Structure 1
Amino acid sequence: MQRTLCIATFVRMDEPQSPQDPKDPKDPEVRSLDARSLRGLAHPLRMQLLRALRQGGPATASQLAAKLGESSGATSYHLRQLAAHGFVEDAPEHGKGRERWWKTVHRGVQFDDALYEDRSPEVRGAAALYMHEIANHHTRELATWIGTRDNWSEEWNRSSDMSDWTLNLTPELALELINKMHALVGSYRALAPDDGTPGTEQVRVHTHVIPTHKD
């Protein structure tokens, strides 16, 4: 069964990246979702919280609430649910007094297409919600970039990209293309400069390979 890698959405940015291939199912930093963990993650706010921790580093429920426009009660509850399913854990090294800090456990997650065919309607529904939320987030990121590009330097405007292509491929060739794109993007982790290097910014990369019917 083909697996859809969602690591680009959930890359942990608060510590050095593993040089291991991001598609490698043996990578301990990449968690494969099963029916139980998918049900624990497939909630819009939980996915936003996990994404915020991966991209922004450890934070408290109050900090995340302010960032996401939610109540601290809601973020606290959903962080505990994420912890119960093994997606986040305490970060006591960041805490002061009674503050509870959270961090992510894995660098990314991997979604198995077999979840779409699970016997349980609840699991199939969670799979659909999960993938729709990822698609919605990609759309929001693109819209945010378009709306704020004047705030970025000319160099970053020249170095951004929004492109699409139409190809005639067999399923085998499409999968080959996906694997090559993932390998290419993953290879740039080894080239990433230190956080303190001037001009370095966090960069988001989206890839979509989808079949469409000809008009």
Structure 2
Amino acid sequence: MDANETENRPPQTREMRVLDTGALKALAHPVRVEIYDILSSFGAQTASSLAARLGESSGVTSYHLRALAKHDLIREVPDRGTGRERWWERPPGGVSFTNPDAMSTPAGKAASQVVMSEYYERRHRQLRDFLATALDNETEEWQDATMLSTATARLTATQLHELSEKIMELVDEVVDNYRDQQGEGVRPVSIRTDLFPLDEGRSS
């Protein structure tokens, strides 16, 4: 899960780690999904800073950080912090939550479902929070720069796949160029792509 690299992306776009059943089971906890996404979106954190963000104790976040690190989902930042205040980061690179081998077992399928459900619930909550507060909290500059758009086209599966690849090539280029950008006016930005077929027999 940074958020735009942890989603289920077309594997042709770049090298991607496909999580095995053990890693999915380690991630399959609401707090761990949140920690993973925070590290993806906002960069390195300590157990204390994560505790402040999540409203948990540092003991709880430390426990979950160790569980994630055990499966190489996160790693300690070298040469930063002390023995008492360790910094953790999410390694760069794409990650897929969808593993056919894991989905073939009840435990793997259950873990995959928990991870996907928690991840997308957080994603939807972030969007709802933005919509509820943007007019009051965001400057006109940031409001004008934001795009929330929906369109519908009639495509074949091959055409949808081609569109997915084109979009992710553009997203990958932006992420590669600006992933570590710092400076005045720079903020984390969520880049979201939702492409999926609609059930013509249902209205929603």
TM range (shorter): 0.7 to 0.9
2:24 is aligned with what amino acid? L
- State yes or no: 1:23 paired with 2:13: yes
Q: In structure 2, which of residues 14, 29, 35 is the aligned counterpart of residue 43 of structure 1?
A: 29
Gaps of 5+ in 2: none
What per-residue deviation string (whole Å, max 9, x for no partner) do you get for residues 28-65 of structure 1? xx422122211121222111111112222222212211
* In structure 1, C-alpha distance between the alignment counterparts of 2:57 and 2:164, rounded to whole Å: 39
Counterpart among 114, 133, 137 of residue 118 in structure 2:
133
Question: What is the percentage of aligned positions where both structures have the same residue?
Answer: 35
CA 116–161 in structure 1, closer or farther in 2 if over 3 Å, else same: farther
The structure carrying a bigger helix percent of its residues is: 2
TM-score, normalised by the number of residues in structure 1:
0.80
Change in 2 beyond 3 A, CA 1:190/1:128? closer
The answer to whether the 8 Å contact 1:10/1:50 transfers is: no
Partner of 1:195 in structure 2? 182
Q: Taking structure 2 as the reference length, what is the TM-score of the superposition?
A: 0.84
Give runs of aligned pairs for residues 8-157 of structure 1, distance below 5 A: 8=4, 10=6, 23-25=13-15, 30-96=16-82, 98-112=84-98, 114-115=100-101, 117-118=103-104, 120-149=105-134, 150-157=136-143
- Return the offset for 1:124: 0.6
Structure 1: runs of 5 or more not aligned: 12-20
| Partner SS, residue 96 of structure 2 | strand
CA RMSD, 1 decimal: 2.6
* Residue 160 (structure 1) aligned with residue 139 (structure 2): no
In the alignment, structure 1 residue 186 sits paired with structure 2 residue 176: no
Counterparts in 2 of 1:148 and 1:9: CA distance versus 1, 3 Å: farther
CA distance in 1, matches of 2:58, 2:194: 34
Query: Which whole-Å CA distance do the structure 1 matches of 2:47 and 2:176 have between them?
Result: 32
